[in-house]
Structure 1
Amino acid sequence: MILVDGSSYLYRAFHAIPPMSTSDGHPTNATRGVISMIRSLIKTYPDSPMVIIFDAKGKTFRDEIYSEYKAQRPPMPDDLRPQIEPIHRMVEAMGLPLVIIDGVEADDVIGTIAKQVGETGREVIVSTGDKDMAQLVTEKVTLVNTMTNTVMDIQGVKDKFGIPPELIIDYLALMGDKVDNIPGVPGVGEKTALALLQGLGSIKDIYNRLDDIAALGFRGSKTMKQKMEDNKEMAELSYTLATIKCDVELPFNSLELQNTEANKEVLREWFEKLEFKTWLRDLDKALSGSVVSNSADGTQEGQVDAPVAANIEVQYETILDKAAFATWLEKIQAAELTAFDTETTSLNYMAAELVGVSFSVEAGVAAYVPFAHDYEGAPEQLERDWVLEQLKPWLEDSSKAKVGQHLKYDANVLNNYDITLAGIVYDTMLESYVYNSVSSRHDMDTLAKKFLDHTCVSFEELAGKGKKQKTFNQIELEQAAFYAAEDADITLRLHQAIWPNVEKTPELVSIFKDIECPLIPVLAKMEQTGALIDPELLHAQSSEIAAKLQELEIKAHEEAGESFNLSSPKQLQVILFEKLELPIIKKTPKGQPSTAEPILQELAQDYELPRIIMEHRSLSKLKSTYTDKLPEMIQKTGRIHTSYHQAITATGRLSSTDPNLQNIPIRTAEGRRIRQAFIAPEGYKMVAADYSQIELRIMAHLSQDKGLLDAFAKDADVHKATAAEVFDTTPEEVTTEQRRRAKAINFGLIYGMSAFGLAKQLGISRPEAQKYVQRYFERYPGVRSYMDNTRENAKEKGYVETLFGRRLYLPDLKAKNAMMRQAAERTAINAPMQGTAADIIKRAMIKMHDWLAGTNLDVKMIMQVHDELIFEIAENDLEEAQAKIIDIMQNSSQIDVPLLVEAGVGNNWDEAH
């Protein structure tokens, strides 16, 4: 059975939804809100009886007990009073029992019905926004707040209040209730009430143990005994006033309450009278929503059909005048948390122009402020400069908490308008990523489906696809308004759905609040700064690569004995496996010989044509991705501006696109030449600061292996030290080849490499590789223990953690497929190291950003690539700045071995690295 606290929702709807009225001035905002909520509940619980309970007029038994009860409450607002009768009549027309009992409050009626129905074993849902109702929660009675989309069972009450439902009355009695004018015990606030209840039990228990209060140790505990004694009568009175009466005499049998057939004709009359046009057009459907443009006189404009999101009937406004804007500006100024979103003309943050902004401060309620829709026939909108001038103080106020979906983009766009977005407290993309980096993508559409079971309006639905796709300023306002407001609304609801999951694990809260969220402005600043490149160098390199590609193509044709398209897998299959009869290493799912890169790499060790093909592919990719493309990516600033992504890799490492800075090869001459095109401006030098062997150092810390810890503590060459151990010699006698092999072992084992993989990499026999691995583990037993323990713990928990508590879930650890399972085990060993390295450099970047904001030195942090930070530094400040950069990076995190940072200086990135 569903019990709806009509009175609670009446006031909440009235204050939450902006003023609305019919053309003849009859107010309708509370009516729409309450009926919308009821319709949403019907959709959620279609087969359950639903009873709507309202307060009766006049005094109740509590007024007789205490004349001051609710005395300070203001009279009912004039615009609310005429909305009550229509709500009652529509509830009845919907076929729902309407209950109003004289002399008691709606709470008491709800408590009585809930008790009677719950005692029979039936589930009861109480739909309310009233915290006092938490006292009714039992195994069978649950609270649902449809305005915030939250559910509260017994555990939910404990999580929210810190006490079980049976102590809620005591809680209210001790601290009082200003809204209802329940006096409480003077001097007892929320923290004191909790300390008393958690320490001693109920009010009855407290009065039986007054001498024990002082030992609880909270602020004021020494004098609390006297206060409790002096105010015993007040506490008992408050307890009575706060207690919901669960034995009201009802003029019906609660168990027999049922819904009846809706009277659609009566509903139609009311919908016509109140000008609920959408509902009128779609009367027989379960749910509808509306997009409403608010004019200064409160009338509705531009109503359109709109889908309903996550069982909430939405109320979206389009702000077209200054009066309506002022109302919303007040709302966001007063809100504890505001969801904020921008609509723009481009995904490229450097080129994007603002078209409008949207806000939401409560689930289901949002507003869109358009100012640049310029299609033919577009309505008059507020001026962009005026809107941004009004919003700038709020947007730049760090005390005004904001939540968004990928707010870094919005921050970058606002920066183009000389606005520095502050107060970024939550980001739903990052909340989802921190909660579980691998369970899904972290875009809004995916998250809305996953967490809210809601399908968002897609951009393509509005704008079309391909070359004919419109930009947002060309989309008609009625459609654009719903899309934009939905973005803000769904963002707020996603936060309400995801954050409680993150909060259950303190380490994840820390990862979000101390690393991911503070990193947003750091990355935004780097992106806005950009990097300077020399396009002429790249053009010259492109020409050289083009000539080289032509040579390779001729060589390939000679080797094959005929001409063929090197980029065609089909033609390559025929040449390699039919004509030249090379060994087939792997087949595609369709049974054809594979020509994938790893296969060609293997064949290239023994055959010339695959080697030529591999070189051709590599150079061709460099040309198309970098030497041709980078000059085209220079923006109006004269620089290139990449986008860093926090929510892509499973382990926490950053990635970048447009251009991808992480994938520029460093081991090839061509790759290094691309880095030479990243240059320092006149009068500046480039500095590249790189963590040395960071993952090996993290392995030493995590494994606590004495040999590794000693090697790093002595600042020894760890690869030479490993070579000495594995090859049973002294460090001084280690050869270059032995060190190379030791390095392969050190890094290979970190990545979970088997003896088979090591043999392939070093070009040695498998038994010899196995001997190296065995000797390594004999010399470093802590590493073997760490690996074994990590595998076991990962299988048991389903995830591994970084040093700072970031989690990586590994569902394939239980896969039936052995290859998938082994891959997951290798990841389990490496991910804590790779993820910890990512956390360490992110922490360093945050501290670096704070230092840069306050220093007088001329320094810019311009790029991050793997374990390296790249800076532009004025030549005069070079020595001092370089020393400070190294200091910050080495000391931003502490592990059991020193973190070593090596910094190079040059006129370009290659020289500096």
Structure 2
Amino acid sequence: MKDKILLVDGHSILNRAFYGLPDLTNAEGLHTNAIYGFLTMLFKVMDEEKPDYLTVAFDVSAKTFRHEMFKEYKGTRKPMADELREQVPIMKEVLTAMGITIIEKEGLEADDILGTLSVKCESQDFDVVILSGDRDLLQLATKRVKIRIPKTSKGKTEVYTYYDEDVVAQYHVTPDEFIDVKALMGDSSDNIPGVPSIGEKTATKIIVEYKSIENAYAHIEELKPPRAANALKEHYDLATLSKELATIEKNGDFPFELSEAKLENIFTKEAYEWFQKLEFKNLFSKFEEEDKENSHDINLKVVEDKKKALEIFDAAKKVPLVGFALKENYGISLCYNEQTYVILGDYKDEVEKLFSSPTQIGAFQIKDISKELVIHTSSNLFDGIIAAYLMNPLKNDYTYKDVAREQLNLMLDEMEPQKDLGYEAYTAFHSQPILEANLKQSNMYELFTNLEMPLVLTLDRMEKAGVMVDAKELEEYGNELQKSISLLETDIYKEAGEEFNINSPKQLGVVLFENLGLPHGKKTKTGYSTAADVLEKLAKEFPIVDKILEYRQLTKLKSTYADGLAHFIGTDGRIHGKFHQTITATGRLSSTEPNLQNIPIRMELGRRIRKVFKAKEDYVFVDADYSQIELRILAVLSKDENLIKAYQDQSDIHRITASNVFNVPFDEVTPLQRRNAKAVNFGIVYGISSFGLSQDLSITRKEAETYIENYFKTYPGIKKFLDTQVEQAKENGYVTTLYHRRRPVPELSSSNYMQRSFGERVAMNAPIQGTAADIMKMAMNQVSDELEKQNLKSKLVLQVHDELLIETHKDEVQKVKEILVNHMEKVVDLSVPLEIDIHVGENWYEAK
């Protein structure tokens, strides 16, 4: 069998991968889709071809010209996207780490290098495979040189194969003649001018008949069609120039030692580290087992003897740190003193004693562990998932294996449960010092220990307590919604003049924009857009659209809440939802099973869902809601004197803003002006643009610009603060809250204007929203702890954004109110006062 060499067109494959795959970024915000696509394509072809040698050729720049005289023909090639450009040097480093030979030479394009190598290797009796996304390389095909070109269709990529005979079969010309076809038709993206008025079909027909441009020109008088003959006659010099440009160099001068391209094991330790950094989990299986574990020896012992197990627990209470993992039905795992144990049997009491000892417990998802245990303090707990989330809040699906990979260079595949349990404890133990050091270096250790870890126990109490839901009233609410939905359906059909599927965007688009002839229809590949922003512009003028929007709201209410909530009611009549502290990038909590953060409150029928949430017998709900907390935080962070004074004087912020923005005396501000000023106040917090404000207030963009300008004149410190946040985010790559929580802003480095604009809004808002989230978490911890400390019957059961809900015994209402005031309003000392609104009711609706 002859030796085989695989030659790869580096920029070409990167470019194809970049545009063929959705955008991917790693934890550091580095774009990785081109690298990932390149590697998967390379591995696919390597598996199929099994080459003995491998070389990747790159252009020194995006593309060079083969001769100075051709510089005037610059074509219309688009500049390389920034997100692709940043991946090129990383790609080269990854290939170098894999021991793969890279060749690039000033003055030579990659295809010149490939052309030269293909001739040289074929002459040395090698089989040659060239991988490229560029059809130009087909001119290199011979009986021994195979061209592989990936093509994507309907989301699936196939790699097509071309020897010389395949080129003839596909394009009706030989590889050499293929050059002439390209020269005639031209390629603006490849800086080849071609002959005006001659396309691919005509170019192919000419070369099939005359074999070359020169011969076609020699028979110019008989050349058909006449238009092509005239074009070639007039632009023959352009044709010959194009041919020279299209011809790949086969005798390039650059150093190359074939022995250096010999393939060894490309899945090296250095390559593995790159794959970890780039987060290419799907490619980890390429590495050999001994490389995966990277010298981490778990030293696992399975313990079934009770006496031995108790000795292990006793010893664990005397060491500084223990890695801990628990899996129901599979045992308990402890790691300390470089030894990992999996203990079989029921040792709940011993575990609780361990958690109450001075030993620091490193573990993952401690809130889930606490479901099986009674844990009284978080002071000795270290949750590696929460620590990893703080370091990278853009990633919200951490597992212990992610931490093992990122912190220990330890790649773990699926394994049997006991071994998996052991590795979890092992990872918890060994990653804890690294994560702690990272938190301290980034100034987030106090945030972790004083806020996030205590919150684990607070959320655990809330989940265990749950909230009662009246199933019968929920069913009645659903029936009422269905009646309203049916009436709306009838009205919509009547106004449309026909029945159709209102839930089908395609059918709805046809009815609105074709049958009824409504304006502003935007046709897409799948039909007219019926997105909310499109319909909202039409709702005021066309009643049918307003009814369709209401129909959508009601059907969502019914499916998500009236029907959806029923699935989550437990046997005790209560919903025990899950609260998550590692999901949002800003630090806000989120909830699932069900999601109670998104209960609609703008429409009365939506607010009424809160009536089904009831306090149990002899209890009421006490609801406390922060008043304008984000605006108050904006005042604190911006240090704007006017806004701070307004809050210190307990003035009506929205009326003050209206007075200044609309240039009217304070006492003459109308309710509409105050509402508009309120929209400006809260819009500024979210980095609203003049366009966004104009849409919200139904005013012209110029009016919106004037509002914003007047706003910043009123509060000059805010403008300075927001601008500074964007500048710092660009410089540091992240912004921080008042309590040092970081929010990375990789969007600011995007070449896409919309992405950069989004990044600017994030940079402005994240410190405000994140600080509000931090303060709310502090308040939750203090309120929950105080309820426990005073041994009250009342329990914290829900948190939604700026609101806390306490299921309160009727005898404890006054105490609970005092606790809420003391620990929400006085949780932190700021330059402006925090205020809460407190309401009491039998159900959540009444308490709100």
| TM-score interval, smaller chain | 0.5 to 0.7
After superposition, the C-alpha distances for 1:460-486 in whole angstroms (9 at most, x for unaligned) are: xx7xxxxxxxxxxxxxxxx22112222
In structure 2, the residue matched to 1:835 is 770
What one-letter code is carried by the residue in structure 1 that aligns with 2:387? Answer: E
Counterpart pick for 1:558 among 484, 494, 503: 494
Counterpart pick for 1:890 among 811, 825, 837: 825
After superposition, the C-alpha distances for 1:42-86 in whole angstroms (9 at most, x for unaligned) are: xxxxxxxxxxxxxxxxxxxxxxxxxxxxxxxxxxxxxxxxxxxxx
Query: Which runs of structure 2 are paired with 1:95-134 in the superposition (5 Å)?
Result: none
In structure 1, the residue matched to 2:133 is none
After superposition, the C-alpha distances for 1:416-468 in whole angstroms (9 at most, x for unaligned) are: xxx6576552111110111121156323344444444544344xxx7xxxxxx
The CA deviation at 1:642 is 1.2
State the secondary structure of the residue aligned to 1:664. Answer: coil
Are residue 338 (structure 1) and residue 322 (structure 2) matched? yes
More displaced, 527-536 or 874-883? 874-883
User: CA contact under 8 A between 1:331 and 1:361: conserved in structure 2?
Assistant: no
In structure 1, the residue matched to 2:371 is 412
The CA deviation at 1:890 is 0.7
Query: Which runs of structure 2 are paired with 1:335-734 in the superposition (5 Å)?
Result: 335-344=319-328, 356-361=331-336, 365-370=339-344, 382=345, 384=346, 387-395=347-355, 397-415=356-374, 424-439=380-395, 441-458=397-414, 479-506=416-443, 508-583=444-519, 592-734=527-669
User: CA contact under 8 A between 2:387 and 2:435: conserved in structure 1?
Assistant: yes
What one-letter code is carried by the residue in structure 2 that aligns with 1:794? Answer: A
The CA deviation at 1:797 is 1.2
Measure the CA separation in 1 of the matches of 2:466 and 2:763. 35
What one-letter code is carried by the residue in structure 1 that aligns with 2:480? Answer: E
Structure 1 residues 484 and 754, CA gap change in structure 2 (3 angstroms): same
More displaced, 739-748 or 590-599? 590-599
After superposition, the C-alpha distances for 1:234-280 in whole angstroms (9 at most, x for unaligned) are: xxxxxxxxxxxxxxxxxxxxxxxxxxxxxxxxxxxxxxxxxxxxxxx
Structure 1 residues 330 and 693, CA gap change in structure 2 (3 angstroms): same
After superposition, the C-alpha distances for 1:770-814 in whole angstroms (9 at most, x for unaligned) are: 111111111111111111112112211111111111111101111
What one-letter code is carried by the residue in structure 2 that aligns with 1:359? Answer: L
Measure the CA separation in 2 of the matches of 1:767 and 1:286. 63
State the secondary structure of the residue aligned to 1:515. Answer: helix
Name the Cα RMSD after superposition.
Answer: 2.4
The CA deviation at 1:591 is 6.8
Structure 1 residues 637 and 692, CA gap change in structure 2 (3 angstroms): same
After superposition, the C-alpha distances for 1:698-756 in whole angstroms (9 at most, x for unaligned) are: 11111111211111011011101111111222322211111101101100111111111
The CA deviation at 1:582 is 4.4
After superposition, the C-alpha distances for 1:358-393 in whole angstroms (9 at most, x for unaligned) are: 222256x433234xxxxxxxxxxx3x3xx2233332
In structure 1, the residue matched to 2:753 is 818
After superposition, the C-alpha distances for 1:576-635 in whole angstroms (9 at most, x for unaligned) are: 4444454566676x5754333433434434444443332222222222221123233222
User: CA contact under 8 A between 1:441 and 1:447: conserved in structure 2?
Assistant: no
Measure the CA separation in 2 of the matches of 1:369 and 1:792. 53
Structure 1 residues 484 and 885, CA gap change in structure 2 (3 angstroms): same
Measure the CA separation in 2 of the matches of 1:594 and 1:445. 42
User: CA contact under 8 A between 2:614 and 2:842: conserved in structure 1?
Assistant: yes
The CA deviation at 1:819 is 0.7
What one-letter code is carried by the residue in structure 2 that aligns with 1:784? Answer: K
What one-letter code is carried by the residue in structure 1 that aligns with 2:301? Answer: E
Measure the CA separation in 2 of the matches of 1:578 and 1:318. 71
Q: TM-score, normalised by structure 1?
A: 0.59
The CA deviation at 1:889 is 0.7
The CA deviation at 1:861 is 1.2
Query: Which runs of structure 2 are paired with 1:771-850 in the superposition (5 Å)?
Result: 771-850=706-785
User: CA contact under 8 A between 2:506 and 2:528: conserved in structure 1?
Assistant: no
In structure 2, the residue matched to 1:245 is none
The CA deviation at 1:768 is 1.6
After superposition, the C-alpha distances for 1:616-671 in whole angstroms (9 at most, x for unaligned) are: 22222222221123233222333111111101111111111111111111221122
Measure the CA separation in 1 of the matches of 2:691 and 2:621. 41
Query: Which runs of structure 2 are paired with 1:115-154 in the superposition (5 Å)?
Result: none
User: CA contact under 8 A between 2:661 and 2:707: conserved in structure 1?
Assistant: yes
User: CA contact under 8 A between 1:399 and 1:423: conserved in structure 2?
Assistant: no
Measure the CA separation in 2 of the matches of 1:366 and 1:807. 34
Measure the CA separation in 1 of the matches of 2:657 and 2:835. 18
Measure the CA separation in 2 of the matches of 1:368 and 1:613. 59
State the secondary structure of the residue aligned to 2:663. Answer: coil
Measure the CA separation in 2 of the matches of 1:420 and 1:883. 24
Measure the CA separation in 1 of the matches of 2:387 and 2:406. 14
Query: Which runs of structure 2 are paired with 1:157-306 in the superposition (5 Å)?
Result: none
What one-letter code is carried by the residue in structure 1 that aligns with 2:740? Answer: G
User: CA contact under 8 A between 2:658 and 2:673: conserved in structure 1?
Assistant: yes
Measure the CA separation in 1 of the matches of 2:843 and 2:702. 45
Counterpart pick for 1:899 among 834, 837, 844: 834
The CA deviation at 1:496 is 4.2
State the secondary structure of the residue aligned to 1:414. Answer: coil
User: CA contact under 8 A between 2:322 and 2:362: conserved in structure 1?
Assistant: yes
Measure the CA separation in 2 of the matches of 1:607 and 1:705. 44
Structure 1 residues 424 and 716, CA gap change in structure 2 (3 angstroms): same
What one-letter code is carried by the residue in structure 2 that aligns with 1:482? Answer: K
Sequence identity (%): 38
Structure 1 residues 587 and 751, CA gap change in structure 2 (3 angstroms): farther
User: CA contact under 8 A between 1:398 and 1:423: conserved in structure 2?
Assistant: no
In structure 2, the residue matched to 1:320 is 304
The CA deviation at 1:497 is 4.0
Structure 1 residues 692 and 486, CA gap change in structure 2 (3 angstroms): same
User: CA contact under 8 A between 1:751 and 1:830: conserved in structure 2?
Assistant: yes
Structure 1 residues 730 and 362, CA gap change in structure 2 (3 angstroms): farther
> How many pairs were matched up?
562
The CA deviation at 1:837 is 0.5
Measure the CA separation in 1 of the matches of 2:526 and 2:433. 49
In structure 2, the residue matched to 1:150 is none
User: CA contact under 8 A between 2:840 and 2:846: conserved in structure 1?
Assistant: yes
User: CA contact under 8 A between 1:411 and 1:421: conserved in structure 2?
Assistant: no
The CA deviation at 1:357 is 2.2
User: CA contact under 8 A between 1:414 and 1:420: conserved in structure 2?
Assistant: no
After superposition, the C-alpha distances for 1:490-541 in whole angstroms (9 at most, x for unaligned) are: 33344344332222123x1111111111111111111111111211111100
